[in-house]
Amino acid sequence: MKFILQPWQLMLIILASWVNREQQEVIEYLRTENVVLKEKLGKKRILLTDDQRHRLAVKGNILGRKQLEQVGTLFTPDTILRWHRQLVAQKWDYSNRKQRKTGRPRTRQVIVDLTVKFAKENPTWGYDRISGALSNIGYHICDSTIGNILKAHGIEPAPTRRRTGSWETFLKAHWDVMAAIDFTTVEVWTKGGLTTFYLLFAMELKTRRVNFAGCTTHPNEAWMKTIALELTNDEDGFLKNKQYLIMDRDATFSKSFRACLRREGVKPVRLPPRSPNLNAHLERFFGSLKSECLHKLILFGETATRKAVRSFLVHYHTERNHQGLGNELIVLMDRPPDLDAEIETTERLGGLLRSYRRAA
């Protein structure tokens, strides 16, 4: 039986043959392009992103190993199929899913922070005392948990902690009756040339109020004894009602100077050697005095030096805000400023020190 092709069938065969030839030519071009790219790259490794590997793995799995080998891709069939297996494995990987934890829940961070705070601020408090303080504010924690928290933060139990109380705790416990004293120096032009002047200051630690005790080129023992008597004067001495005076181990603070203080009821507290940070408040004042005043002036003689220091102290006490005091003034204003009044500018030392206030 003879089979006769219809015209439309003949046209379909011709069209299919033409499409197949076009596809083969495209494939041949892509294979040649891959070969050229391989020659260009040499042995350099091609780095792909996870998204690029994903796309190649999906397409490669559809073709299969045999066709991949015929195409001559940039990556071997084993590599592309390995990427596919990794995609399958990731689909069934549940290791990253959150698992329900067993055992006791962790102590809340707010409780941990409060426990450490209470222990540091109260060296004599034991575990039970801290537990009671926490229960007063709504956190009921057993003493063993408190012990574990303190051990994790390197804090000793109460008996040991009490013996090794911090210097900060000691200072705050004696703010009202404690002061500090120290020297700073400034270079001044005199008839004899450039001369070093020693400036002695005392500070009331609680208020940061500073007293300019004296100025000399030779702070000898006799001068220091005179200063001690002036500071401890019963009527207007700066150390009146003070019980402790912090000082470093400078030889200028001699035995006779310390003896004068003791006779007036003020106990000298000498700092450990090489520990300037233990008199940090007065050291910070020296930094302000020099950076804002003394280092910006050329001083001629003792009188000019005293005038500059006193001008700065007025500014320091009544016009300058202090971050250590909550950004407040040492000497507070008598009344709140009148917002409708004009703003006035106060200048000291020729405008070196300025402050602004509402007119009275």
Lowest-confidence region among 102-111, 294-303, 344-353 = 102-111
Give residue 128's pLDDT. 84
Which whole number is the average pLDDT over 299-310? Answer: 94
What pTM, to 2 d.p., does this model score?
0.56
| Cβ pair 290, 183 in contact under 8 A | no
Give residue 147's pLDDT. 84
CA dihedral for 86, 91, 94, 98, sign (positive or negative): positive
Lowest-confidence region among 91-100, 305-314, 343-352 = 91-100
| Cβ pair 313, 238 in contact under 8 A | no
Q: What backbone torsions phi and psi does residue 76 show, to the nearest 5 degrees?
A: -70, 155
Contacts of residue 352, Cβ cutoff 8 Å, sequence gap at least 6: 292, 293, 296, 297
Give residue 360's pLDDT. 73
pLDDT band at 354 (very low <50, low <70, confident <90, very high): confident
Q: Mean pLDDT: which of 4-18, 119-133, 157-171, 257-271 is highest? A: 257-271
Lowest-confidence region among 77-86, 91-100, 275-284, 295-304 = 91-100
Which whole number is the average pLDDT over 212-225? Answer: 94
Give residue 237's pLDDT. 92
| Cβ pair 130, 146 in contact under 8 A | yes
Mean pLDDT of the chain: 80
A 10 A CB-CB count for 259 gives 12
Lowest-confidence region among 2-6, 282-286, 334-338 = 2-6
Higher per-residue pLDDT: 270 or 167: 270
The total number of residues written for the chain in this structure: 360
pLDDT in tens, 13-61: 655 565 566 666 666 666 776 777 766 776 676 666 766 766 666 666 6
Give residue 227's pLDDT. 94
Higher per-residue pLDDT: 73 or 224: 224
Contacts of residue 230, Cβ cutoff 8 Å, sequence gap at least 6: 213, 237
Ramachandran assignment for 336, one of left (phi > 0), alpha (psi -120 to 50 degrees), beta (any other)? beta
End-to-end CA separation in angstroms for the chain: 126
pLDDT band at 301 (very low <50, low <70, confident <90, very high): very high
pLDDT band at 160 (very low <50, low <70, confident <90, very high): low
Quick one: what percent of the chain has pLDDT higher than 90?
33
pLDDT score of 80 more than 70: no
CA distance 154 to 73: 62
pLDDT score of 229 more than 90: yes
Contacts of residue 137, Cβ cutoff 8 Å, sequence gap at least 6: 114
pLDDT band at 152 (very low <50, low <70, confident <90, very high): confident
